[in-house]
Amino acid sequence: MNILFIHEVDWLSKVVFDIHSLSEALSLSGHKVFAIDYENPWRRNGFRDWADLKTREYAGISRAFPGASVTLRRPGFIKIPGLSRLSAGFTHYSEISRTIREDNVQAIVLYSVATNGLQALHLAKKHHIPLVFRAIDILNQLVPYPVVRPLVRLIEKRVYSRADMILSLTPNLSRYVIEHGAREDRVKLLLMPVDTNIFHPAIDASDLRQKWGFGQNDKIILFMGTLFDFSGLDALISHFPEVVKQVPEAKLLVVGDGPQRPRLEEIIARFGLQERVIITGFQPYEDMPRYINLATVCINTFNITDATRDIFPGKVVQFLACGKVLIATALPGLTAVISGEKEGVVYADSADGMLEKIVWLLTSVEARQKLEQAGLSYVTKVHGYDKIVYELEKRLEEAIEEKRHG
């Protein structure tokens, strides 16, 4: 199959996530995969650099899986705040249309709505090819400007109601898209994949232990991901001295970066935790398995908000695949897929509960090992990327066949 993936974030700089894994896995299975993205954040190179309407092409992109090959096309736009996304709507329409025609695209996998959702929908219908929407977030809640969110929500409803198929990440997201116009019989569940050839236990992380100044007896608590305001790390770090009192070897390692980082650094300084809490900034994706294997326990401290309530963070399956127990906020989207300890995940309903679970698992080797084995067994059986990609192939073939027969 020739498949076009469409998003409205930066394919090259965005943290590796679902769209990279699925598209590259399809390319490894022998399919020809194209992608269209939007450069964000963008910069102007001098006063005269106010517009670049040409499409830039990047061949052989591989970020999630070595040996994969995705052809990325990035349409240009006007480099003026307010006009950048608006102008991208027109250039994306043109580039989507050209890619469909010239590369004989047989199916579109769409992740976005605001910048190019309606364009992709119209062109899929015009060229009589299926549009499959991949639902992994509540998209209107990711818009940074609250005044624009109602408009994005309206566009969501239109895309959901007219997509040929919707592949949702969680049962909660399935309900969300149905409530916002999707036909129930067109909504299918497709879980988060993980490559257990890349993420697995017993990967040597001794160089990272030395790099970040950890001792051999230190017990490392790992948070991994973008530092949004809903990360929950501000509350955890503020109470981290309580963990240290009970577990003197405890250290918190935050692998990531984002808008919340200055506030977290201020809290670290206020409580004198510079030797106890380390923020690394963004690290290369290929190093993630080693960072996870450095950990004693992993955490996901997200506050429950409209943006996080129904999501399933991809790092969850990466932690479990590396044989690490996860202590997580009980996000409804996550609990709908993973029930709890029999899959290696321990849920906490509050900040105090999170601290208690951390201390328990840092000090109880037997309990920790039992949970680690349960999580590894679960993720290998259910989330192996070969299984997920095989299911994705079947869904795309089904959508193409249904479109062919009206």
pLDDT at 247 over 70: yes
Q: What does the DSSP 8-state code read for residue 384?
A: B
| Confidence band of 52 (pLDDT split at 50, 70, 90) | confident
* Residue 148: Cβ within 10 Å count: 13
What's at 214, amino acid-wise?
A: F
Length of the chain: 406
Q: What is the C-alpha separation between 148 and 173, in angstroms, rounded?
A: 21
**384 alpha carbon, distance to own chain's centre:** 16
Q: Which residue has the tokens 């364009």?
A: 119
144 confidence band (pLDDT: 50, 70, 90): confident
Please identify which residue in the block is written with the tokens 């990035």: 74
For β-strands 77-78 and 51-52, DSSP reports them as antiparallel
In the block, which residue shows the tokens 């490392």? 220
Strand 56-61 to 70-74 pairing: antiparallel
Q: What is the DSSP letter of 141?
A: G
Domains and CATH numbers, the chain: 2-193+385-404 (3.40.50.2000), 206-382 (3.40.50.2000)
What is the C-alpha separation between 174 and 130, in angstroms, rounded? 19
Report how far apart the first and last C-alpha atoms of the chain are (Å, whole number).
19
pLDDT per residue as tens digits for the range 177-197: 999 999 999 999 999 999 998
Residue among 235, 248, 302 nearest 276 (CA): 248
Cα 369 off chain centre by: 27
CA distance 113 to 404: 25
Is 312:333 a contact under the CB 8 Å cutoff?
Answer: yes
Nearest to 376 by CA among 346, 342, 348, 347: 342
pLDDT at 335: 96
- Identify each DSSP E strand in 89-160 by its residue range: 107-110, 131-135
The model carries a pTM of 0.88
**Confidence (pLDDT) at 180:** 95
User: DSSP strand E in 63-155: where?
Assistant: 70-74, 77-78, 107-110, 131-135
pLDDT in tens, 84-112: 989 999 999 999 999 999 999 999 999 99
* Residues 213-239: tens digit of each pLDDT: 999 999 999 999 999 999 999 999 999
Is the pLDDT reported for residue 30 higher than 70? yes
pLDDT at 130: 97
Given a cut of 80, whether residue 47 has pLDDT beyond it is no
**Cβ 265 vs Cβ 241: under 8 Å:** no
Helix axes 149-162, 117-126, angle to 10 degrees: 20
Q: Which residues pair with 299 in a beta bridge?
A: 327
| 387 token code pair | 């299984």
The pLDDT tens digits of the residues spanning 329-357 come to 999 999 999 999 999 999 998 888 999 99
d(CA 273, CA 3): 49
Q: What is the mean pLDDT of residues 292-305?
A: 96
Q: How many CB atoms lie within 10 A of CB 147?
A: 7
pLDDT in tens, 260-278: 999 999 999 999 999 999 9
| CA distances from residue 238 to 116, 242, 274 in whole angstroms, order as listed | 41, 9, 13
Nearest to 116 by CA among 83, 87, 79, 141: 87
Chain centre to alpha carbon of residue 156: 19
Tokens linked to 14: 């965005």
Q: Which residue, 231, 225, 285, is CA-closest to 257?
A: 225
